[in-house]
Structure 1
């Protein structure tokens, strides 16, 4: 059992607590921006195709992500693709994507095999509001619908004619404005959130029902508080109604309801909703994952509902770190086939791996984040944190104990520490902020702190000991410091963050940096043997290299 837990804990390189103290954080986000090859940090949507590629709609055009690089997409043939914002990507079949150019109000079909683009016509009988938004949705039968703001009817896509038409039966009651549509695939119903309440088209009866016409006696339509200024809704796998509206009694703020129609009761699973409002917000979308996790998002909002927590948690980092997420607008949330979460925002594309329910999640009571974890023995680990010192974790059968080994008086300079590594069988060295080094004696369980002048006051980000017994320190300021014969000397300087140092069998050091690519340097002289950059090296897709694992590079 200890070996199993050791393996699980050793793979966890960072633990993070929630933005709010009352809730835990289960998602750690990786951010993709122009530094990673995206054309723009303004990202609107994503879609995963049958081959596993992630297609990304940015403020500029369509791009494809293969797991390592982003590729700009342009069309061949008669029709050219617009160089404008792609606001939605919908899969038509295994080789065709429907693209929504929302600003231009243009749609087209992009063939991923032939790389050709075919424009789509919109056939409408009524006048369209000049400021209308165009939103596309699909149902379980493969139908593709077009919803237009302040337009009474839902249009349907004709695949043969490459056009949207007013042939669909789904429409709102007279003089109602549709704000969003939810498709209930289990009961074959199309729910419309409208300015005047909820409306639903039932496939079996081929009729539209609302609070004004409810011969079936559906309880959700009879609830007054659920049928006023409706924005969006979702029916989850437990058949609970999640409804967001702006009722008069809400005092000018959106209200979230969780309603159990079968028992005719309002559930308390919305706990945390009010507290999660950090500023003015608009919640216009709800997405449910295969794990039953709900995501609520829109302007100034990204919230999640975890079934095992039974409450709403906010995802937002005021000061962006390595694992948080920052935004003003969240435009799309997608779950991929590996159950990872892709979040499209105005401040980049974010990815969070699926929750591993077998991992041991350690919460830090003071609300600060952990940065690394180092196995010491079969059931003992050293935990680095950024703000709450160094902690010793011990597993005894099914019990977990966490002990803070940093004393506020003796080790005040080690409160913010980044990385730890064995330098011999007895000592672990710990890199900390402002050029401080922690030295932990494993046998005696004693810790001391030491300032390294050669760091010039910069955080020690990487520590490595080579086979010849030499220790190398990499800093936030781009310096590599060599420790040998009880002396510290400056070996190398690159002027940017050094994320990691590795040594190869030939005695060379490989240095992963923030924005200057990868260096291979002579460990004795510090001279550059080879400098690998995006522009000069095939297969290197960016100059920000966060981690080296053997012969692998992680961007």
Structure 2
């Protein structure tokens, strides 16, 4: 059943909002409702514009329909149709944080946020705490038992109680103690079966029961009871098919049904707590519905209940957990809309519903309505592009900032910047020249945007075509703009425009004629405007 509002938009049967009318306001209302309802928006005649980075994009980003259909290149490998319309990228403008900004090392392996709002960044040479301005670095000190146990940080977790846990390569597990600004260490001890199984910690999660799971490189996975301080070990046993399939554990995840999943170098495993055993899923060359590759690097369940598995050589998998089958998303060098690389290191669905994929060929965004991916890659000529194409980890903080760790630095993108539309203004070079300041904006009922500047007059921009017209002061024309130093604008309901200037009073523009009428202060005239500075 559809909803209507002033005849502008209506919902169609299914999960798509459709505009009944063309135009700026209809599209804006459609986008607003689609965002609220979690659907897509389809508008006739959505206008393409040019972004500040040179990419063509629609005036409003369409909401992504995560339950959309996909086309198939093979029986079970999902590939978008390369002949379909191109996928428009978002306006992603990254801020970069590297050693120049105080980061201890540029290879970023893990990112987390603590209860006080600090962003923690794990690198190959130290743990970093970022407060938004300054970086504090924590490193191993062999003479300080409270220091970080190893400089190489692989994994970070902020648990439900607010404690920060740190997994290191060779130093075991650490818990940060804010009172002493140091760390409590949990390490493997020879001869102590209750200690950590190994010191090369690659993944950490906390399950719904409060237990911690620690994945290790070469030592399987441990379940840790913080109350007793005991670790329960799960290792691979060649003689037991219900054991862990491999001891190199690089990914851990608990799904909505409270099932713990383990990603190893020899397949995916699901833990059965009643049997204290595992069900394994591995690549089978004779089955196109099997896992694409056994080297599992990322596991993720999105809010739609879809279960994703990223691998080191086989791309991305979408698992049907009831059937135990997989659909594959793979890189195709002939298809620019395919997954950028078959090496997937991290997965994240943001709060807007977008699924992001960290690959060896940049940051990828899934567009589920086509089954295609948009790639965001490093451009050495663009300082706001991602800093490196080898993306290692993804995180979204409580302020909705997307953090992207790479082999060459940390990147952050504020979602607010994507809400802005960048108009490519034709014939508008004069207004933007000489470093003049833009002071004011107004939109009229004819879908024009008016731009005021300090020193270069007034610009009228047609948002449909990008065509512009410049209004300037002319000494020989007493009906031209009185002053090129514009301080304020107001679009009246009758279609006219009021223009406040720095020193030559108020102007009233009749857009039909392009002529101005002046209102100035006159000392000898009662009732004249009080000042010629209209701000």
In the TM superposition, residue 334 of structure 1 has moved relative to its aligned partner by 0.7
SS of corresponding position for 1:46 = strand
1:144 aligns with 2:236: no
Equivalent in the alignment of 1:518: none
In the TM superposition, residue 159 of structure 1 has moved relative to its aligned partner by 1.9
How many residue pairs get aligned? The number is 378
Equivalent in the alignment of 2:261: 191
Equivalent in the alignment of 2:107: 42
Equivalent in the alignment of 1:240: 306
Q: Structure 1 stretches of 5 or more lacking a match?
A: 213-221, 247-252, 365-369, 384-390, 407-421, 429-466, 470-555
Q: Is the 8 A contact 2:345 2:393 kept in 1?
A: no
Q: Is the 8 A contact 1:258 1:267 kept in 2?
A: yes
Equivalent in the alignment of 2:153: 86
1:325 aligns with 2:398: no
Matches within 5 A, 1:391-470: 393-395=461-463, 400-403=464-467, 425=484
In the TM superposition, residue 289 of structure 1 has moved relative to its aligned partner by 2.2
Report the TM-score when normalising by structure 1: 0.54
In the TM superposition, residue 129 of structure 1 has moved relative to its aligned partner by 12
Among 282, 287, 297, the residue aligned to 2:343: 282
Among 94, 99, 102, the residue aligned to 1:29: 94
How far apart, in 2, do the equivalents of 1:393 and 1:112 lie? 55
Among 278, 295, 301, the residue aligned to 1:208: 278
Q: Is the 8 A contact 1:121 1:163 kept in 2?
A: no
Q: In 2 relative to 1, CA 183–392 (structure 1 residues): closer, same or farther, beyond 3 Å?
A: farther
Q: In 2 relative to 1, CA 18–208 (structure 1 residues): closer, same or farther, beyond 3 Å?
A: farther
In the TM superposition, residue 361 of structure 1 has moved relative to its aligned partner by 6.4
More deviation in 185-194 or 275-284?
275-284
How far apart, in 2, do the equivalents of 1:111 and 1:199 lie? 33
In the TM superposition, residue 333 of structure 1 has moved relative to its aligned partner by 0.9
Q: Is the 8 A contact 1:144 1:156 kept in 2?
A: yes
How far apart, in 1, do the equivalents of 2:372 and 2:233 lie? 41
Among 125, 132, 136, the residue aligned to 1:67: 132
Among 225, 229, 234, the residue aligned to 2:290: 225
Among 155, 175, 186, the residue aligned to 2:222: 155
| 1:228-272 deviation line (CA, Å, top 9, x unaligned) | 5252443322222333457xxxxxx52333355679998798798
Q: In 2 relative to 1, CA 32–173 (structure 1 residues): closer, same or farther, beyond 3 Å?
A: same
Equivalent in the alignment of 1:291: 352
Q: In 2 relative to 1, CA 190–80 (structure 1 residues): closer, same or farther, beyond 3 Å?
A: closer
- CA RMSD after TM alignment: 5.2
1:176 aligns with 2:236: no
In the TM superposition, residue 294 of structure 1 has moved relative to its aligned partner by 1.8
In the TM superposition, residue 336 of structure 1 has moved relative to its aligned partner by 0.4
SS of corresponding position for 1:51 = coil
How far apart, in 1, do the equivalents of 2:253 and 2:181 lie? 31
Q: Is the 8 A contact 1:79 1:118 kept in 2?
A: yes
How far apart, in 2, do the equivalents of 1:225 and 1:295 lie? 23
How far apart, in 2, do the equivalents of 1:173 and 1:354 lie? 44
| 1:345-379 deviation line (CA, Å, top 9, x unaligned) | 22211101126786446699xxxxx9999566534
Equivalent in the alignment of 1:255: 315
How far apart, in 2, do the equivalents of 1:292 and 1:161 lie? 39
Equivalent in the alignment of 2:16: none
How far apart, in 2, do the equivalents of 1:230 and 1:18 lie? 37
Equivalent in the alignment of 1:316: 377
Q: Is the 8 A contact 1:28 1:352 kept in 2?
A: yes
How far apart, in 2, do the equivalents of 1:401 and 1:110 lie? 56
| 1:118-147 deviation line (CA, Å, top 9, x unaligned) | 211236879x99997632233333322111
In the TM superposition, residue 78 of structure 1 has moved relative to its aligned partner by 4.8
Q: In 2 relative to 1, CA 143–289 (structure 1 residues): closer, same or farther, beyond 3 Å?
A: farther
Q: In 2 relative to 1, CA 295–403 (structure 1 residues): closer, same or farther, beyond 3 Å?
A: same
SS of corresponding position for 1:321 = coil
Among 159, 176, 187, the residue aligned to 1:110: 176
Structure having the larger proportion of residues in strand = 1
1:345 aligns with 2:406: yes
Q: Is the 8 A contact 2:108 2:124 kept in 1?
A: yes
